[in-house]
Structure 1
Amino acid sequence: MMEKLQRSDLQSLEQREHNMVTEPSVHSNTMGIQDNDCGSWRDGDDPNTDVQADKKPGSLNQHRLCTPAETGNPLAESPFLGDNAVNAEDDGVKSGPKGKSCEDDEEGHLVYHVGLLMKERYEVVLTLGTGAFGKVVECIDRHTERRVAVKIVKNIDSFREVARSEIAVLEEINSLDDDNRFACVRMLDWFEHEGHICIVFELLGLSTFEFLRQNKFLPFSVKQIRHMAFQIFRAVCFLHRNKLTHTDLKPENILFVCSDNDDVEAVKVFEERNLNVKVVDFGTATFDHEHHESLVSTRHYRAPEVILDLGWNQSCDVWSLGCVLMEFYLGRTLFMTHDSKEHLAMMEKVLGPIPPNLLKQSRKQHYVHNESLNWDEHSSSNDYIRKHCKPLKQCMRRNTEEERQLFDLLSCMLEYDVCRRITLEEALWHPFFSPLRTQKQQQRS
């Protein structure tokens, strides 16, 4: 039985006042600022693959959340559907008599038809996608006439067990944040249908990754990054203060709230309501008192202590968010690799040498030679790193005060030593967020 946690709200962020800084204007008709040095995805690499090797089965990369008519692609949010996502048109779902359901298929998925009514309440409208854990469908809640996303988990014991674990986490989040102050996705309901656990979520908009992709990977502006980061940091700080680590923070798991503006054109101009976001996917979220798997996080956002098998805590979320903010700023992944040692070498190129004491403590001693990273600087892989990686401060586009503040915050988040890495509660008081704190104070007065 999960221990009941006491509600813990964040310290008020309106108590201190800092000077305002000038915001850059948004590039004409585009989200963010065009920059020829922003780069692109590494050729042949899929940014949505290489999820942790031992990720719990059925870890919910579930939601999506916009319709095919809005995006032209039912898998616009495919990262939420797991590594084995397939097009909804190819998943065997066919139109049929309303309310008619069939037995499971050979993989354990529920075979259903558009029009199926589950729990005498949720009517299937369309399939949003299919993944290793099950399927996600958009439904009309006939009690409220509201559209929702329903994840239908495979009828397999291991997947059912993980689904129940996620439900417990989501119920705890709902209980601790019953007035929805923090930007975590809301579970609206859950039920069983013919042996399948079904989880009902609010329907959200595009993921930040999908937005970047549709916008040709043009980066967000610093003002836009600040607005989104403040919400994300408050949400994850709320989790941390309630003894929970997300473990899989990435652009695919940060979704825009605005579901009636899911096309890119609608949110290119900076408007607060269009840039409100929520954190999703608690399939691998872990409470402090629970067993910590040795390998967590999606590759590109994985902290060095995880790669080096040093053990991890909530600070691994801070590292992941540092990588996310850099991706928002650059328009590309900071550490685009599928090899752990190459990943560490990239970190050294961007952040400097890994401290010898961390390498000495690592259980992965094949990565270490003479208390340094065991890396061949004459390899073709090193040529790739030299081409695509440069020291953090050299990534700064403009030497403005707000960009200096952003990169100072990033350097505190991308700190090798977890004892020295900034916490999210500390990060929320960083000068980078001063304009938002001042704005909130003015709104309250």
Structure 2
Amino acid sequence: MARPVSNRQQNQNWGTRGHQDERDVMTQAPEYLKRSDVQGDEPPRKRSRFDITTREELSSVPPIQRQERFDHREATNSSSRRFESRLESKRRDDNESCIFPPNAHQEDEGHYRGGRGDILGNRYEILGNAGTGTFGRVVECIDRKNNHKVAIKIVRRVHRYTKSAVIEADIVRDVNRRAFNITRGDFKQTNFSSSLTKKDIWFDPRKLIVQLHSTFYAQGHYCLVFEKLGISLYELLKLNNYRPFLPKTAARFSYQILKAIEFLHSMQLCHTDLKLENILLRNSQLLSIHDSRDISSQNILPPFHIPAQDYIVLVDFGGATYDYETKSAIISTRQYRAPEVILNLGWSMPSDLWSAGCIVAELFRGDLLFATHSNTCHIGLIDRLVGPFPFSMLQHSKYFHRYFDQHGRSNWPTALRRQARDHVRKMPTLSDYCHNDRDLFDLLKKLLIIDPLRRFSATKALQSASLFSSFERLFSSSSHSSRYHVALFPLYPAYS
């Protein structure tokens, strides 16, 4: 069978490509994108991950220091969602630097600095900052052409980040084009969000992928214009003080996540970075639930916020990789990383399903399933929850003797410090973790299979999981119990 060809393989000049009708809002591409190492017949490459230690960095570290680097940040409390603040340094507080200083066009390590009212691409007016990351910034803008709000990712003016963003844009265009079965010429004129219905979103995974409107350059920065969405599931979980989602809401989210993965895998595309931060609500309207029995009491618990609509969208395709492409050794954020990735056995689409299992557990329980930053500790937690590791899998790993004894038993009891050992010992088996929730246990035991060759695909999990067996009951709209007081809670009134 002929290998499918991605859109970016068909176009050699991908460094400066853009739609013909976008050129009126484009400035000239920066010089560093015109270098010979960017264009030409270079094979497509997945963007490198900037939040992990690379193999080259590890090779320069002496063995003793290398082990310390693996183990010095062991988890000590699995119930603490603030474990390492979930890399909180990468997530600025919502109230911090919400708006850039007016007219402060400064370059700080390649970052774009702008203010409210600035115009990007002669079209988009900045309303405020929506987020900051290693790659650059995301700003909320108003499209002065149609008065619609959009989110624009402004990439740092650094070669490797720009190159990665161009690849990401190509992948999202490939997905959007496949999803909506339209030609390149129709792409910009189609409004994918205008006719969304409950049935479409829950049955049609193509509506669960973020829409990329256009790309352009502004002052040398590569900019990606996305549809405006709500907050991430992580932000909603944090807003609720890490209390788990309502079971029906968690089940609905789980179904949509698996449908989105099923669609991506039908394209032979691995997302590689599935986590709550990369799953956004379609809108930011929330309902605030109070216990009516205690509403006049002095000891009122903080309100519990639920989405006004349980519609989600999968975002961040910066690490997405076609299954036939050259792959990096390490993918995924640590806590969602599959065993085959940890053991450097190679990976494919099943790694996304392991991440999905970690997400499902987090939705139903509120805490990270694997709260660790160490390979040894991570393997120990996996071994306790769903182990043991199959020996037939371990014998192919070059790290076999680093993490296991000759009989295939994990060496975490002797390799970890006392606090880390205690943390691993507290990990229950999967059946104990799920308590009496048979539907949750049934789904997780299909997704959290250590051997990727035996792990269920998204399609099989959707078809066989008892959690989704009664679709009409799961997705029927129901009123909240009379014991609750429900009020509309607009999270971001200025932008909603």
Contact map agreement 1:214 1:264 (CA 8 A) in 2: no
Paired AA for residue 74 in structure 1: D
| Aligned with residue 378 of structure 2, among 318, 343, 366 | 343
- 2:213 is paired with a residue whose SS is strand
Which moves more between the two structures, 283-292 or 369-378? 369-378
| Aligned with residue 320 of structure 2, among 285, 293, 299 | 285
- 2:359 is paired with a residue whose SS is helix
Q: Which residue of 1 aligns with 2:425?
A: 386
Residue 413 of structure 2 corresponds to residue 411 of structure 1: no
Paired AA for residue 318 in structure 2: G
Residue 170 of structure 2 corresponds to residue 168 of structure 1: yes
Paired AA for residue 310 in structure 1: L
Q: Which residue of 2 aligns with 1:40?
A: 79
264 and 305 in structure 1: CA distance in 2 versus 1, 3 angstrom threshold: farther
Residue 281 of structure 2 corresponds to residue 256 of structure 1: yes
Residue 265 of structure 2 corresponds to residue 240 of structure 1: yes
How many Å separate the matches in 2 of 1:263 and 1:157?
Answer: 44
| Runs of 4+ residues over 6 Å off in structure 1 | 262-265, 438-441
How many Å separate the matches in 2 of 1:46 and 1:155?
Answer: 28
CA RMSD of aligned residues (A): 3.0
Q: Which residue of 2 aligns with 1:159?
A: 161
If the length of structure 1 is used for normalisation, what is the TM-score? 0.76
| Aligned with residue 97 of structure 2, among 57, 68, 88 | 88
If the length of structure 2 is used for normalisation, what is the TM-score? 0.68
Shift, 1:212, TM fit: 1.1
How many Å separate the matches in 2 of 1:413 and 1:234?
Answer: 14
198 and 2 in structure 1: CA distance in 2 versus 1, 3 angstrom threshold: farther
How many Å separate the matches in 2 of 1:368 and 1:434?
Answer: 39
| Aligned with residue 74 of structure 1, among 90, 94, 102 | 94
138 and 393 in structure 1: CA distance in 2 versus 1, 3 angstrom threshold: same
- 2:363 is paired with a residue whose SS is helix
Which moves more between the two structures, 131-140 or 41-50? 41-50
How many Å separate the matches in 2 of 1:229 and 1:147?
Answer: 28
Q: Which residue of 2 aligns with 1:226?
A: 251
Contact map agreement 1:205 1:262 (CA 8 A) in 2: no
How many Å separate the matches in 2 of 1:263 and 1:111?
Answer: 35
136 and 311 in structure 1: CA distance in 2 versus 1, 3 angstrom threshold: same
Which moves more between the two structures, 237-246 or 151-160? 151-160
How many Å separate the matches in 2 of 1:185 and 1:435?
Answer: 28
Q: Which residue of 1 aligns with 2:404?
A: 368
- 2:316 is paired with a residue whose SS is coil
Larger RCO: 1 or 2 (CA < 8 Å, sep 6+): 1
Structure 2 runs not aligned, ≥5 long? 9-76, 181-191, 194-205, 291-302, 477-496
Which moves more between the two structures, 362-371 or 280-289? 362-371
Structure 1 runs not aligned, ≥5 long? 6-37, 51-60, 65-72, 76-86
Q: Which residue of 2 aligns with 1:23?
A: none
Shift, 1:44, TM fit: 4.9
Which moves more between the two structures, 273-282 or 292-301? 273-282
Matching of residues 43-442 of structure 1 within 5 Å = 44-48=83-87, 73-74=93-94, 87-88=96-97, 93-96=100-103, 102=105, 105-178=107-180, 181-261=206-286, 268=304, 274-365=309-400, 366-377=402-413, 379-380=417-418, 381-387=420-426, 389-397=427-435, 399=436, 403-430=437-464, 431-436=466-471
Corresponding pairs, count: 367
How many Å separate the matches in 2 of 1:301 and 1:424?
Answer: 16
Paired AA for residue 406 in structure 2: N
How many Å separate the matches in 2 of 1:43 and 1:438?
Answer: 35
Contact map agreement 1:247 1:284 (CA 8 A) in 2: yes
Shift, 1:268, TM fit: 5.0
Shift, 1:261, TM fit: 3.5
How many Å separate the matches in 1 of 2:378 and 2:433?
Answer: 18
Shift, 1:224, TM fit: 1.5
